[in-house]
Amino acid sequence: FTTIGTGSFKPNEKANPTIGEIGKTQTEEEVQINVTFEKAKEKKILQALFKNHSYEEVAYEITTLENTNQNIGMGMVGELENP
């Protein structure tokens, strides 16, 4: 799942920004990407993210899924009257 929005950052004096200037707030159109993956793949996924991201600091968040029934998934299950 992806979400389009506007991100902002302000590089400090120790930064080497790809875009923007030190000490000035920079805004950029960005895309937030949400990915569901197995815990065992987390290290490789993060390594790939850090290696390929264009910014010095990567904003990311990891949230665990606490599914007690792994056959249901993240959404709702329903039955349609007509296929």
Contact 22/6 with Cβ under 8 angstroms?
A: no
Q: What radius of gyration, in Å, describes the C-alpha atoms of the chain?
A: 19
Over residues 21-57, the pLDDT tens digits come to 999 999 999 999 999 888 999 999 999 999 998 777 8
User: What predicted TM-score, i.e. pTM, was given to this entire model?
Assistant: 0.62
Query: What CA–CA distance (Å, rounded) separates 39 from 53?
Result: 21
Q: Taking the mean position of all CA atoms in its chain, how far away is CA 55? A: 13
Query: Which tens digit of pLDDT belongs to each residue from 49-83?
Result: 999 987 778 889 999 877 777 676 666 677 889 87
Q: Is residue 19 within 8 Å of 26, Cβ to Cβ?
A: yes
Smallest CA-to-CA distance from 33 within 61, 54, 14 is with 61
